[in-house]
Amino acid sequence: MHDHSHGHDGDRRALVIALALIVAFMIAEVVAAIVAGSLALLADAGHMLTDAGALGFALFAATLAARPAQGRWTFGYKRLEILAAQANGVTLLVVAALIVFGAVRRLVTPEEVRGGVVLVVALAGIGVNVAATTVLSRASRESLNVRGAFLHVATDLAAFAGTALAGALILVTGWNRLDPIASLGVAALMVWASWGLLHESTSIFLERSPTGIDPEAVGRALVAEPDVVEVHDLHVWTVTSGFPALAAHVLVAPESDCHAIRRSLERMLSEQFGLDHTTLQVEHAEPRLLTIERR
């Protein structure tokens, strides 16, 4: 079992290498896109820019994650990850919209595209992405940050494959409209990725209960425990990805042991629902209330 800080260092190293690879290639790709007159390559570069953003933030979060909660920051900086996901989602949408706009113009009046350059650069892009993916797959998959970055880079592979195909077909057929068509495919991938990021991050900001946890089921499980009379003010939310929390007010039978019940409820919530961060206010029910509830 390696120690936690060593794991963070390993994650950081993997992220730095992947980020360096992607940024270097992205700059080269923008130059190649201008030389080749290819919108599909420019779209891929735009997608890579958001990858670089995701990796850069994962790196930033991996550094901050080690910092303890302090002062007014009682949860530490954990929500920053969600804020970054939201920013990333918005960026993806904006870039996708710009690409769609450019693609429509090019479909109407096609421009000369150098298929050979497009094909070579897209194949190089596949190579760079495979290298970055390999580096990231060695990093801790437990970290959602790293997993998010990994998914970003993996979707890039699909985008590059489409662009390489378009480059090859332009070489063979000389049909320049294949380039904006490929760029529309990349834009569709970006919209799909941004929807996932925005939907997830907005749910967390609005304190929606985590996807895998049904508050109704949690409430029923709590009431089903021995000596529990009533549960109210039940809240289940997500602080940041992989960090669900619960708070509830629990009334128990007058003669029962509050502390023992609280411990058993905490154990049950952890085992059944994976809720380890729980705040339970356990109090004795008044005998009168007990008769009303039990009727």
Burial class of 146 by CB neighbour count within 10 A (0 to 12, 13 to 18, 19+): buried
Please state, in angstroms and as integers, the Cα–Cα distance from residue 161 to each residue in 37, 152, 176, 257, following that order: 18, 15, 18, 64
Is 210 a member of any domain?
Answer: no
Given a cut of 80, is residue 155 above it in pLDDT?
Answer: no
What CATH number corresponds to the domain at position 245? 3.30.300.30
Nearest Cα to 107, choosing from 48, 177, 167? 177
Final residue of a domain: which of 205, 238, 258? 205
182 and 141 part of one domain: yes
235 and 185 part of one domain: no
Tens of pLDDT, residues 189-246: 888 888 888 888 888 888 788 878 888 889 989 888 888 888 988 999 887 767 889 9
Tens of pLDDT, residues 83-96: 777 887 888 888 88
> Which structural domain range is residue 281 located in?
215-294
96 and 233 part of one domain: no
Look at 5 and 261; give whichever has higher pLDDT. 261
Is 82 a member of any domain?
Answer: yes
Is 225 a member of any domain?
Answer: yes
Is 254 a member of any domain?
Answer: yes
Final residue of a domain: which of 158, 186, 205? 205
- In whole angstroms, give the CA distance from residue 196 to residue 238: 16
199 and 223 part of one domain: no
129 and 190 part of one domain: yes
70 and 174 part of one domain: yes
166 and 268 part of one domain: no
97 and 190 part of one domain: yes
C-beta atoms surrounding 35 within 10 Å? 12
Final residue of a domain: which of 182, 205, 228? 205
State residue 2's pLDDT score.
41
What CATH number corresponds to the domain at position 98? 1.20.1510.10
Is 236 a member of any domain?
Answer: yes
- In whole angstroms, give the CA distance from residue 217 to residue 183: 45
State residue 112's pLDDT score.
84
pLDDT-derived band at 124, boundaries 50, 70, 90: very high
Tens of pLDDT, residues 266-293: 999 998 888 888 888 888 887 765 555 5
* pTM of this structure: 0.73
189 and 219 part of one domain: no
Tens of pLDDT, residues 23-49: 999 999 999 999 998 999 998 898 888
Is 286 a member of any domain?
Answer: yes
What is the number of domains present in the chain? 2
**Strand, helix or coil for residue 206:** coil
pLDDT over 90 percentage in the chain: 15
169 and 245 part of one domain: no
Is 117 a member of any domain?
Answer: yes
State residue 159's pLDDT score.
86
179 and 35 part of one domain: yes
257 and 147 part of one domain: no
- In whole angstroms, give the CA distance from residue 19 to residue 23: 6
Nearest Cα to 126, choosing from 19, 22, 40? 22
Is 237 a member of any domain?
Answer: yes
